[in-house]
Structure 1
């Protein structure tokens, strides 16, 4: 799983969605549900070949929360062809699995 720490890395990740489904977890260190969802998201990332998984701390790349209208955390964004095509909000990783299954 890739860690996105700059706006430039985020732009590169979004560009990759022209070739592959990209799933990005946006989180904050202080977020309890984010911490609880982390091991399961790691597990999911190991289950799906051909899907790019990444995570971004919104405290490091502050513009991301505003740019992607993040209203709760964790938020999982799915990108295809350079666009957000779906999102799952909160620590329910089953919703993330369903999103991936629908889009892959």
Structure 2
């Protein structure tokens, strides 16, 4: 994908820019700061929980969490899952004070409400369940 594109992705089949099968749920990926900011503005008007997975291609623990996020996207249909590569959107990573990977920032009404750092499936799941209602 080019630097100015964003898409729903399915990395389970190594296709970029396609909608994932329904059994997995949707995960949005942003490669443009302006598109990310526009999307964030829209979500400020809803009470929907958003989970941002900050990741990098070179990060092994990030790749370990990819199937976990796909699983969560299937389980928690009312939660929006976002994938942001810190090397592509450094400004967004700085904005959320991401200093270690993987990092997960939970957002409601456009504001960060919590954060999980590390490949911590159970901790992330508990936070999702706490904030999704």
Q: Do the structures match in fold with TM over 0.5?
A: yes
Considering fraction of residues, name the structure with more helix: 1
- Superposition TM-score, scaled by structure 2 size: 0.74
Off by >4 Å, runs of 4+ in structure 1: none
Partner of 2:72: 44
Q: How has the CA–CA distance of structure 1 residues 74 and 48 changed in structure 2, closer, same or farther, with 3 Å as cutoff?
A: same
Unpaired runs of 5+ in structure 1?
none
The structure whose RCO (Cα within 8 Å, separation 6+) is larger is 1
In the TM superposition, 1:1-104 aligns within 5 A as 1-15=27-41, 16-19=43-46, 20-104=48-132
Unaligned stretches of 5+ residues in structure 2: 1-26
More strand by share: 1
The CA RMSD over aligned residues, in Å, is: 1.2
Q: TM-score, normalised by structure 1?
A: 0.93
Structure whose alpha-carbon radius of gyration is higher: 2
